[in-house]
A and B are shown apart, each in its own frame.
Chain A
Amino acid sequence: MAEIASNAQQLALVIALLGIGCGVYAGLTRRAAWSGVAERSVYVVATLVTAAIAVLFAAFALCDFQLEYVSRTSARAMPLSYRLAALWGGQEGSLLLWLWILTLYSSVAVYTQRGRTPTLLPWASAMLLANQVFFLVLLNFFTNPFDLFPPGQAPSDGTGLNPLLQHPLMTIHPVLLYAGFVGFAVPFSFAFAALLTGELGTAWFRSTRRWSVFAWAALGIGILLGGRWAYEVLGWGGYWAWDPVENASFMPWLVATAFLHSVMIQEKRNMLRIWNLTLIGLTYTLCLFGTFLTRSGVVQSVHAFAQTEWFGRVFLAYVLLVGGLFFAALLYRRGELQSPNRLESALSREASFIFNNWAFLAILAVVFCGTLFPVATEAVRGVKTTVGPRFFNTMTAPLALFLLFLTGVGPLIAWRRASLASLRRQFLVPTAFAGLVAAALIALLGRDLTWYPFMAWTLSAFVVGTVVQEYTQAVRARTRRGESPQRALYTLLRKNQRRYGGYVVHLGVVFILVGAAGAAFNSETLQNVKPGDSIALDGYELRYLTARPLPVGHYGGAEARVALFRGDEPLGTMAPEKRIYWLEQQPASIPSIRSTLREDVYVLLTAVEADGSATLKVHRNPLVAWIWLGGVVFIAGTILVMWPHPERGTGDG
């Protein structure tokens, strides 16, 4: 079977190369027949790659340790779901997954665009195939997941997967991240095609908007689930550490968010045409760069994979080539991209979107510099110096607050030029609501309140006020014409789903920031306790009952039983675990978490000591649940935005 898959990969490479040739020829000569050949080679490559990955999935399911890759990332003792997820537990499989998603996306994109954008399509097909070729070359010649052990030398069992990755969230988090990263290949390819053909209208982003929104949402949710995984598995009490791998996925998301906002200006006012192309080019380049960061191990971190040096070089060269070609094409077309319209006033929705864009790019600059700081200092001074989370928090917090402010302001300001009277009318209710919340915060928290959480929560209230006002105004306008409120709300979401769905997305992001600001009030304690002893933390009492061995299976170890009280009220028993994964010879501390909307109590068993006492670490993390709640709202908003529209069809959302 592995030979078949290897052959499928090789054939896919040949067909992709031929497809590029046909696409370019069709693009140059405008012959539809050749464009059709390019289109069909996209489908054929997708089929071949699907066959290859199916073989690899089967090999994991059947524990076929003849395959060197399967033996390296899985073991018989692992449950089937984790064995399947082990496909993206290492380098080769991750690259194959990347490629597979890309081929599927390419097929759907090409299929839905047939006949809609005849000049762009052959070039876009060639672009998509060119991206596939890079991964096919890597898989065929450098990191082939179908490499076999010499006959008779296959091990009887695999060496297993890093235990930290054996978690339900790890079966979905990498897939979502890749679904996001790869998704931007589609708008990028159409943008590139627009630059090559000179068809510089709005077709390139109108035809791929759904892709941009989908990729952006998948990436956002993937990042959030990664945070959740870190919180539940890594056992340091937090969900985001500005680790290079986290940053690698966050950077393209920042630019993509700016992009989704600024294309609206191009649509309404035909402005910012160069800017939007720049943003989509930067987004995809950063997606590739992020893959490079995580895959090459250039900045060592949680799941950076140790790899030989050539891999990093080849990958970096590819990233620079793709980005370089795109921006060279953009430079070449810059004269044709000048917009006839100018910004009329700083008090306009356009202006608020431009500020929004600059703030997102400023955060990007901070994250980029902070992430690459160790690489730069190592290259220049020979020593690795890293900047800690404090650098990132300090530098991004004011920018995040500014963005939160703009999130509230944007919808309240008119396009072109806002009048003072309209501003006064629009701002009254949200500002009053924010004022109320600010007063309540001061009354409630008094001296404990610090500047950043105060601003974050007050501005969050402002945004919530804006969203509620937008909804009520629109619903009221409809009910005045005789519609029932429910009917009015339904029509609103149906007729202007991007706007009103977008507000729901804003709410989700606000909830996430409300939760993140809670970190300013975190507290923690570490104590060594004998059975029967208690630990006190901020009104909670944690009584250590006993430690008992975990049932022996794929892993063993100990579990501590801890009774949790608030005052005299018992809240339940918590059971943090200290696991040892036998095969992998690796320990892991699994926290026990009691989560409420108010705060989380997070307990870790740091060690069971020789005398029977336990060393426990207890964190109290306020408002963390709001982050996950915000994620759910974010998903709901995205679905509202992307829901297929009955009249306009599914192709252009």
Chain B
Amino acid sequence: MSKGVQIAIGALAIAALVAWYGWTSLGGEGSYRYFQTLDEFRAATVAGPARVHGYVADGTIVRDLESQSVRFEVQQDPPHAGGTRGQTLPVHFASLETPDLFKHGAEVVVEGKLQPGTDSAVFHATKVFAKCPSKFEAEATEQASF
């Protein structure tokens, strides 16, 4: 066998090994994150886990200490930019751990899904990410998980 063929076979074997390793290790949830705007999310018909981008509607945040959860509503456009409120998406976040920059008008990404059954219009978020308003140059921290 020529040296070129040997190298090619070796490279292919390694690539196959890496692909197999990646495939088997990363098959589950949590490896890939996929963003949709609120409008796109509404238009999509497939149910299941999603990450939805929007803005916290004014005056909708309720921190419920009793049940250790936060309720709020998300709208498509930023409230301060004169955007109409339109149809909002009610969100239930079963934790009090909201990011620093989470407040009325904040740009957020909520991760979770619509819960089929009793309260089908409510988005049950497992994670909430917030971004700072565009007034500042630097993007604020996304509460990353490691």
- Asked if residues B34 and A383 are in contact (CB atoms below 8 Å), the reply is yes
Select B139's contact among A90, A301, A386, beta carbons within 8 Å: A301
Instruction: Report chain B residues within 8 Å CB of A306.
Output: 134, 137, 139
Docked Cα-Cα span, A589 to B21, in Å, equals 38
Docked Cα-Cα span, A584 to B30, in Å, equals 34
- Asked if residues B146 and A611 are in contact (CB atoms below 8 Å), the reply is no
Smallest Cβ-Cβ distance to A245: which chain B residue: B139
- Asked if residues A588 and B25 are in contact (CB atoms below 8 Å), the reply is no
Chain A window 55-99, contacts with chain B (Cβ cutoff 8 Å), 1 for yes, 0 for no = 000000000000000001100000000000000011100000000
Interface residue stretch chosen among B71-79, B80-88, B94-102, B114-122: B94-102
Interface centre among B68, B101, B141 (most CB of A within 10 A): B141
Smallest Cβ-Cβ distance to A587: which chain B residue: B100
- Asked if residues A302 and B142 are in contact (CB atoms below 8 Å), the reply is yes
A388 interfacial by beta-carbon distance below 8 Å: yes
Q: Known interface pairs A302-B142, A390-B26, A528-B68. Does A90 touch B137 (Cβ–Cβ under 8 Å)?
A: yes
Q: Known interface pairs A238-B146, A243-B144, A386-B33. Does A609 touch B63 (Cβ–Cβ under 8 Å)?
A: yes
Docked Cα-Cα span, A490 to B89, in Å, equals 70
B65 interfacial by beta-carbon distance below 8 Å: yes
Select B36's contact among A238, A383, A386, beta carbons within 8 Å: A383
A138 interfacial by beta-carbon distance below 8 Å: no
B20 interfacial by beta-carbon distance below 8 Å: no
Interface residue stretch chosen among A391-399, A432-440, A531-539, A562-570: A391-399
Give chain B nearest CB distance to A418 CB in angstroms: 22
B126 interfacial by beta-carbon distance below 8 Å: no
- Asked if residues B144 and A236 are in contact (CB atoms below 8 Å), the reply is yes
Docked Cα-Cα span, A388 to B31, in Å, equals 5
Instruction: Report chain A residues within 8 Å CB of B25.
Output: 394
A469 interfacial by beta-carbon distance below 8 Å: no
Select A387's contact among B31, B68, B101, B138, beta carbons within 8 Å: B31
- Asked if residues B32 and A387 are in contact (CB atoms below 8 Å), the reply is yes
Q: Known interface pairs A528-B68, A607-B63. Does A305 touch B22 (Cβ–Cβ under 8 Å)?
A: no
Give chain A nearest CB distance to B86 CB in angstroms: 21
Instruction: Report chain B residues within 8 Å CB of A589.
Output: 100
Give chain B nearest CB distance to A306 CB in angstroms: 6
Instruction: Report chain B residues within 8 Å CB of A384.
Output: 34-35
Give chain B nearest CB distance to A363 CB in angstroms: 12
Give chain A nearest CB distance to B42 CB in angstroms: 15
- Asked if residues A526 and B63 are in contact (CB atoms below 8 Å), the reply is no
Q: What is the size category of the interface that chain A forms with chain B?
A: 35 or more
- Asked if residues B139 and A303 are in contact (CB atoms below 8 Å), the reply is yes
- Asked if residues A162 and B35 are in contact (CB atoms below 8 Å), the reply is no
Interface residues of B, dominant DSSP: loop
Give chain B nearest CB distance to A317 CB in angstroms: 23
- Asked if residues B96 and A526 are in contact (CB atoms below 8 Å), the reply is yes
- Asked if residues A238 and B144 are in contact (CB atoms below 8 Å), the reply is yes
A304 interfacial by beta-carbon distance below 8 Å: yes
A10 interfacial by beta-carbon distance below 8 Å: no
Smallest Cβ-Cβ distance to A233: which chain B residue: B141
A426 interfacial by beta-carbon distance below 8 Å: no
Instruction: Report chain B residues within 8 Å CB of A165.
Output: 138
Chain A window 237-261, contacts with chain B (Cβ cutoff 8 Å), 1 for yes, 0 for no = 1101101000000000000000000
Interface residues of A in 592-634 (CB under 8 A from B): 606-607, 609-611, 613, 615, 617
A519 interfacial by beta-carbon distance below 8 Å: yes
A235 interfacial by beta-carbon distance below 8 Å: yes
- Asked if residues A528 and B141 are in contact (CB atoms below 8 Å), the reply is no
Docked Cα-Cα span, A609 to B21, in Å, equals 46
- Asked if residues A235 and B96 are in contact (CB atoms below 8 Å), the reply is no
- Asked if residues A241 and B146 are in contact (CB atoms below 8 Å), the reply is yes
Docked Cα-Cα span, A208 to B21, in Å, equals 40
Interface residues of B in 127-146 (CB under 8 A from A): 132, 134, 136-146
- Asked if residues A240 and B146 are in contact (CB atoms below 8 Å), the reply is yes
Docked Cα-Cα span, A241 to B145, in Å, equals 7
A375 interfacial by beta-carbon distance below 8 Å: no
Interface residues of A in 508-542 (CB under 8 A from B): 519, 526, 528
- Asked if residues A395 and B22 are in contact (CB atoms below 8 Å), the reply is yes
Instruction: Report chain B residues within 8 Å CB of A587.
Output: 100-101
A234 interfacial by beta-carbon distance below 8 Å: yes
- Asked if residues A303 and B65 are in contact (CB atoms below 8 Å), the reply is no
Instruction: Report chain A residues within 8 Å CB of B136.
Output: 162, 584, 586
A385 interfacial by beta-carbon distance below 8 Å: yes
- Asked if residues A398 and B146 are in contact (CB atoms below 8 Å), the reply is no
Smallest Cβ-Cβ distance to B30: which chain A residue: A390
A389 interfacial by beta-carbon distance below 8 Å: yes
Docked Cα-Cα span, A54 to B83, in Å, equals 45
Docked Cα-Cα span, A386 to B109, in Å, equals 13
A164 interfacial by beta-carbon distance below 8 Å: yes
- Asked if residues A236 and B141 are in contact (CB atoms below 8 Å), the reply is yes
A300 interfacial by beta-carbon distance below 8 Å: yes
Q: Known interface pairs A236-B145, A386-B33. Does A588 touch B137 (Cβ–Cβ under 8 Å)?
A: no
Instruction: Report chain A residues within 8 Å CB of B30.
Output: 388, 390
Select A528's contact among B26, B31, B65, B138, beta carbons within 8 Å: B65
Select A162's contact among B31, B96, B137, B144, beta carbons within 8 Å: B137
Instruction: Report chain B residues within 8 Å CB of A303.
Output: 138-139
Instruction: Report chain A residues within 8 Å CB of B68.
Output: 528
Docked Cα-Cα span, A366 to B35, in Å, equals 22
Instruction: Report chain B residues within 8 Å CB of A241.
Output: 144-146
Instruction: Report chain A residues within 8 Å CB of B138.
Output: 89, 162, 164-165, 302-305
Instruction: Report chain B residues within 8 Å CB of A305.
Output: 137-138
Docked Cα-Cα span, A238 to B143, in Å, equals 10
Smallest Cβ-Cβ distance to B131: which chain A residue: A300
- Asked if residues B143 and A236 are in contact (CB atoms below 8 Å), the reply is yes
Give chain A nearest CB distance to B58 CB in angstroms: 16
Docked Cα-Cα span, A164 to B137, in Å, equals 12
Instruction: Report chain A residues within 8 Å CB of B134.
Output: 306
- Asked if residues B146 and A389 are in contact (CB atoms below 8 Å), the reply is yes
Smallest Cβ-Cβ distance to B143: which chain A residue: A236
Given A243-B144, A586-B136, A609-B63, 18 more A-B residue pairs with CB atoms under 8 Å apart are: A165-B138, A235-B141, A240-B146, A301-B142, A302-B138, A303-B138, A303-B139, A304-B139, A385-B32, A386-B33, A386-B34, A386-B35, A387-B33, A388-B32, A589-B100, A606-B97, A606-B98, A615-B97
Measured CB to CB, the residues of A under 8 A from B are 72-73, 89-91, 162, 164-165, 234-238, 240-241, 243, 297, 300-306, 383-391, 394-395, 398, 519, 526, 528, 584, 586-589, 606-607, 609-611, 613, 615, 617
A sample of 26 cross-chain residue pairs with beta-carbon separation below 8 angstroms, ordered by A number, consists of: A162-B137, A234-B141, A235-B100, A236-B144, A236-B146, A238-B146, A240-B146, A243-B142, A302-B138, A302-B139, A302-B142, A305-B138, A383-B36, A384-B35, A385-B32, A385-B34, A386-B34, A387-B33, A390-B26, A390-B30, A394-B25, A395-B22, A586-B136, A587-B100, A615-B97, A617-B97
Measured CB to CB, the residues of B under 8 A from A are 21-22, 25-26, 30-36, 63, 65, 68, 95-98, 100-101, 132, 134, 136-146
